[in-house]
Structure 1
Amino acid sequence: MARGGATAVNFQDLRRRVLFVVGALVVFRIGSHVPLVGIDASQLRSLFQEGAGSLLNFLNAFSGGSISRLSVFTLGIIPYITASIIMNLAAATVPSLEQLKKEGTMGRRKLTNYTRLGTVALTAIQGTFVAIALERFDMAHDPGLLFRFTTVIGLVAGTIFLMWLGEQITERGIGNGISIIIFASIVAGLPQAIAEIGLQVGNGAINPLTAMLILAGSLALIAGVVFVERGQRRVPLNHAKQQRQMGGRMAPGQRSHLPFKINMAGVMPAIFGYAVLFFPAQIVAFSEGGGAEWLRDLTAAMDRGQPLYLLVLASFLIFFTFFYVDLTSNPKETADTLRRSGAVVPGIRPGPRTATYIEDIVKRLTLIGAIYITLVCLIPELLVVQFAGSLTNFVLLFGGTSLLIIVVVAMDFMEQVQHYMMTQQYGNLLKKVPGAAAGMGLPR
């Protein structure tokens, strides 16, 4: 009975966390339908109908349709991600911020507050450009200073709310709240994309064989992403402290391995790369057709499928893969942990030699991961050029970038659930053993 009661409590807490995530996503979807004040909806629909396959439609796919509705969530969580990137770069180069990073919880709390302030500033800048662009495209019922002010306030409030919602999902739910919000934004457009491809086939606009080939390619891409994401480089370990005397010789201790994922950066390079790319691209996209000649040239050069766009995107993806892995991994700390636990890599001396060995492995895996992420993310960019108009929304949502985010976030969520359940069961087991929790420094 006690065992069943403990299990019931664990599942009750897990259910509460999962329901909190679901409720937060429902609130997010409701908010994506709350429009900004003073927008001409007919002009907005015309803009998106004329720009099929454009960068503006790609931004709309990542926002869950918020841009096409010009809701308060139009800018989404992208400004917060951009501010986080800037703050992480600053923390690695500015001595005062680097010192804050080393001060533990209080230092991280200050850096988080700086990131929030940076998010407000970036959102206000982007919101100002959006308001000006809306007036230029005659989408404002009553253009002027009041319209710009209310638009900026609405966009800032929407982004700040999403930032808070993501933090609540991380703390009170399961998984990374920001990734889950982006995941929900993409998944929200899947039913409509599937319905559109069925309609196009029914109308004879596209060849059924072409649609089947693209569907098969998407399934193959999902299988490839899952295969790579589950791939590991296992470094063998010997535990010297667990050697024991057997007869007249020393028997080897327990053997295990140190796992390193092939894609150590996960989905973050894609999110970071597009976040940085979207900041100037939003200005370019909303300014299309107007402005100075150099801006029009930049608009044409940064259109999806153009060489400059692909080159900039690939550069961002590779850079942020190495940046994120360097930010989250510490070979020296890993080597020290192995040495303290009595684990050694066969043929490698503990200490600095082990740290160098692990660092070399991380660098090689990071290079492979960067190539993999870049190839996966460039697939939809090339397909949109080929199938612009007829299958644009389907390719946007079932292309490499979107599928990478969907699959990786879904896998990460499931791993978080499994890890949480194992942690709860292990904690309950320790409570049943008298003195075990106290002996391991755990709360009773």
Structure 2
Amino acid sequence: MSELSYISLRGNRAYNTVVRPDFELYFEASKNIYSAEENPHGTFPLNVADNNLNWPILRERMQYIAATLEIPDWVSGYTSGLGHETFRVALADFLGNFLADRPIAPENIGVAAGATAVIELSAIILADKGDVAVFPAPAYPVYSRDIMNKAGVQRYDLITHHDSDAIHHGPILSIEHLEKAKQDIERQGSNFRLLVVTNPDNPTGGLYTALQLESIAEWCMERKIHFIVNEIYGFVTVNTKDPAIADDYSDHRTFTSFLSIIHKKNSPYLHQWYALSKDLGISGMRVGMVYSLNQAFLTAFNNLNLPHMVSNHTQWLLQNILGDHEFIQDFLNAQRHALTKGYIVVVDMLKKLNIPFVPSYGSLFVWADFSRFLETETLAAEMAFWQELYKNTGVLLTPGIGFGHTKKGMFRIVYTCFDDEELQVAMKRIQYYLTGLPKHKKIATQ
């Protein structure tokens, strides 16, 4: 008998559904990480959104707290499915002071084990099986798995452009785009139930303006469509006024949190997703949250969240981190400085190689156009180039597959996994490989 006969149909679907097409190479590369002294021929996995820039600073603080503070009794027991009260108070205070610039109510927060759990639960609660969630393309590939695996919600990639120069100044999602998507979805007999944007954007690093967000919110509210803004990269923004990159931007817009708009509109159709994974660089600690004024949604979240609750010890540790606003401010300042340095290393090399890219305002990525190195503008050619680049340089980028974009040859470069000196080595390897290709040669498909 086949080994698959021992599991359910759902189990078979899970068995055959790869989370990400680049994970196998990522785990291979992660076993051979570059080190200038210990492993100079090692690899550079720049495909997974890890933020390692200031982990030593945070680790030292965590070790100090663990060594000097007494663990409270509540850590060993059961707590609310929305998260322990004291942690949600600390989280609300942190978000209100640093992200939203206004008071945030802890009773409107639901906490779960990472952004993935929050997204999955939101899809289950806000939409029915077969409903459609719309994502302006390109968008994070694993959203598809998060909304489909259990909730059965379908993903719709809303195409707003083909060439990346169209979004050189930021996202161009308009009401006209939304109307066309709604008509298309309804023609197919489906229901446009959710609209999700990531701000700052993954993978482009673009920022939505407050006017864009308000206009989209009003359109969604009128049509009873749930509008969710994922602000998981809210604190990882680039200093666009740095002289090395200032001329790349037509305006130096700053991040505007959706939290203020949620309160301004006071609608049950507006929600924010957030997590500490990227901003603090602690993906492995699994802390995500949703903010909503929709109390029915939060009650349902509480009732469904038992399998996804965050460890009480993690909540206690992090409430002490977040509650120290002086430490947090210093940490965020240091992180922005390191983030900007790494970003400059990557885009400087892209400019030397004449590789188009989208100037990033935030997130952990550069969205770059390597299409001229493809034999044909096909997925097979894109994957062939991706594999050959890794094989010849040891540098692993995120391929464009799954982002829902129409143009082939677009790749995401994560620049927060290594410091700027190490990044320079990775980018020089790419330079050496690409400039060494015969001018008439492109990467052939396998």
* TM-score exceeds 0.5: no
Instruction: Using structure 1 for the length normalisation, give the TM-score.
Output: 0.21
Instruction: Using structure 2 for the length normalisation, give the TM-score.
Output: 0.21
Structure with larger Rg: 1
Higher helix share: 1
Structure of greater relative contact order (alpha carbons < 8 Å, 6+ residues apart): 2
